[in-house]
Structure 1
Amino acid sequence: MKNIILKKLGTIVLALLIGVSVFSLFPTVTKAETTNVTWSNGSLVRILGNNGDADKATVGKTSGKWFWEVSVNDNRYDSITLIGITGETGTLPSTSWDIMAKYGVDGQLLIRTKNTSNNILRTNYGDMFGGNDVIGVALDLDNDKVTWYKNGISQGTSIAKPSELAGSQVFPLIYNGNASEKKLTANFGASNFKYPVPEGFLPYQDSGSSTTPGSST
């Protein structure tokens, strides 16, 4: 009887050890650990006024690979709603085209950097987006790249280079070029994203200590 009990205990211990070993193979996603990142109004929701109103996040980044989502909170497919990145200089809101790289509702990418003076580069990039779409932004400062996602689908690595923005930091940006108000809601990682985080990226407001699962998991 004693030997049977010992064998059963050994089997249970072995199963637990195997379970721990298997789960250790899979990285986990942890909650963001930094102070909440918001728009300048202290909220994740921002109602942009008429043409030229814009805003950027309260925290910038200098390195790393970061992801966030911006939801378009109405059903209107207005002509100029822009979601992108900008440098640390410039005053917002502004009626001028600040230094930026922006993915627009018409599917075009608009780029103006410290190297292009006042010229704006417009190029076809991704699918059109509008009411109730969710735009994800994957900012890769380690490799000087940025990729936009529409409802979880990558639009491809863009030609925009974050290093060409003015200043040492890069910020999430939203811009309204319409005559009517536009409501946009950001998720920098305070809650679950609607779509998967790209492999190797962290929620924007994370401290950098979390890990994201690889595509194989």
Structure 2
Amino acid sequence: MSISWRSFTGVSLSNNDLTATLPTQLQSIIATGNGVSSGKWYWEVLVQSAGAIVGVTSTTTGGQIWNTVNHRGYFSGAAKWGGTSGTSYGATFGLGDVISVLLDMDAGTIEFWKNGVTQGVAFNNVKSLGTVYPFYGNPTGTSIPSTATAKFERKAFSYQVPQGYLQYDIKHKILLSSGDKYYSLLNDGIQETTSIPKMTSNTTPEGEVLVSNSPSGNATFGWEAFDGGLSTTWGGNTLPTTMPKWIGYKFIIPKVIVKYRLYVTNTTYYPRNYEFQGSNDGINYDTLHSIVGGSSGVLDYVIPNRKPYSHYRLYITVLSNGVTLPSIMELQMFEMKPSYLVQMESATEADFLNRGIGELNDFNQILITKKNLIKGNTVLGSGKVFEHAIDMSRRRVDKITLG
């Protein structure tokens, strides 16, 4: 059964019951399913009105949940609520914003993202609620409607599922089987070296450096932000003073960049407000991460990106101290390490839930990449059809066929 919003009197549901409109602030909506009391779970809510509150609840009866002790939530007015009143938390949000929920029931914490940017851990006492369910409420007023769409499946997400978390809609969980053995995927984290080669010009040895301005001095060539050294910078007094400015890199093959590192150790000339963006045509860019009020230093940012892009850039709108010239020593970009197959010791229901893969494409990518081996040099059998055995009354059966 697919996870969606429950039906309550007065609430309008559409889009396979994933979009809900709550006419008054006396109403909330709760996800279907059995709820969770352990594990680490991720889902998103697209806000389609001026106000909303997003979070978890221990009740299934609906009503004005956000004004009770039975919930933990993030309110669009920049507050966190865990009872009948709220305290300051995060940024305001509204129409068009995507709120990600990172629920860790093992640790008892809940964290929220706004458009892929973490707002920090909001609560560390969620376990006291017992079994909880995703919920969304209308805090805007007695006659002001509120609309939001839930995203419980990986394929619908706007951002990458954080490492260690599972999509909340767990109906599709897959393991590979070969004979009497079962396999899952494992990933050792983020690459330790930048995916950009050491550049000696804007186009060598490969790819292309993207730069907003054409400086006249060698010291300000864009490629010197990608030359692997900290003695040269992109910036200086030969750059035009107009804003915005950007510096980036075009890969030959699109890559999924999940982290970037910025070396800006000059305490006067550093970016203050900027976005890390991705594009596949060099014209239309998606914002993957944003900073307001940044500082100098060696800055590492892990970003919730799951989409491959050929173009990435740092798009700067405001510099520090009122200056108009940046001083960026290096900009590095990092991918995830290659995934590999790992043999499971068993294939119980718990194994499917905890280690099963939510998307066939995750296996497809590993199986068509011959350089990725099974951990421990375990060899799969010679058969070409791999199926998983599972309780069909509770889970969907999928099949992977190798060509």
TM-based fold match above 0.5: yes
Partner Cα separation in structure 2 for residue 96 and residue 157 of structure 1 = 18
SS where residue 163 of structure 1 aligns?
Answer: helix
2:92 aligned to which of 125, 128, 144: 128
Aligned to 2:26: 52
Structure 1, residues 100-128: CA drift from partner, whole Å, max 9, x if none?
Answer: 1110011100112xxxxxxx352211011
Q: In the TM superposition, what are the counterparts of 1:71-150 in structure 2 within 5 Å?
A: 71-74=46-49, 77-78=50-51, 81-87=52-58, 89=59, 91-94=61-64, 97-98=67-68, 99-112=70-83, 120-150=84-114
Residue number in structure 1 paired with 2:202: none
Give 1:94 deviation, angstroms. Answer: 3.5
Alignment-derived partner of residue 68 in structure 1: 43
SS in 2 for 1:66: strand
Distance 1:201 1:155, change over 3 A: same
Partner secondary structure for residue 68 of structure 1: strand
Mapped contact 1:73–1:184 kept (Cα < 8 A): yes
Q: Are residue 172 (structure 1) and residue 117 (structure 2) matched?
A: no
Instruction: Tell me which structure has the larger Cα radius of gyration.
Output: 2
Q: TM-score, normalised by structure 2?
A: 0.39
8 A Cα contact 2:75 2:81, kept in partner: yes
What is the correspondence of 1:154-173 to structure 2 with a 5 Å cutoff?
154-165=118-129, 168-173=130-135
CA 73–208 in structure 1, closer or farther in 2 if over 3 Å, else same: same
RMSD: 2.3
Secondary structure of the equivalent of 1:148?
A: strand
Residue 191 of structure 1 aligns to a residue whose secondary structure is helix
Instruction: Write the letter of the residue equivalent to 2:82.
Output: I
Quick one: structure 1 residues 73 and 212, their matched pair in 2 at CA, closer, same or farther if it must change by over 3 Å? Answer: farther
Task: Structure 2: give runs of 5+ residues left out of the alignment.
Answer: 8-15, 175-184, 191-335, 337-403
Q: CA deviation at 1:215?
A: 5.0
1:37 aligns with 2:3: yes
Is 2:155 aligned against 1:191? yes
> In the TM superposition, what whole-angstrom CA distance separates every residue of 1:143-196 from its partner, at most 9, and x where no partner exists?
11110010011111123421122xx31100111022311111001116331011
Structure 1 or 2: larger strand share?
2
Report if aligned partners of 1:84, 1:103 keep a CA contact under 8 Å in 2.
Answer: yes
**1:81-112: per-residue Cα shift (whole Å, max 9, x none)?**
2111101x362123772311110011100112
**Following the alignment from structure 2 to structure 1, what is the Cα–Cα distance between the partners of residues 149 and 61?**
21
The one-letter code of the counterpart of 1:84 is G
Partner Cα separation in structure 1 for residue 164 and residue 65 of structure 2 = 36
1:185-212, CA deviations, whole angstroms, 9 ceiling, x for partnerless residues?
Answer: 0011163310111121110012595668
Moved over 3 A (4+): 207-215
Please give the alpha-carbon distance, in whole angstroms, between the structure 2 residues aligned to 1:192 and 1:125: 27
Cα pair 1:54 1:93 within 8 Å, conserved: yes
What letter corresponds to residue 137 of structure 1 in structure 2?
Answer: V
C-alpha change, 1:106 and 1:213, in structure 2 (3 Å) is farther
Tell me, in whole angstroms, the C-alpha distance in 1 between the residues paired with 2:74 and 2:104: 16
| 1:212/1:54 CA distance change after superposition, 3 Å | farther
Q: Could you tell me which runs of 5 or more consecutive residues in structure 1 were left unpaired when the two chains were aligned.
A: 1-34, 113-119
Q: Distance in 2 between matches of 1:70 and 1:205?
A: 13
Aligned twin of 1:26:
none
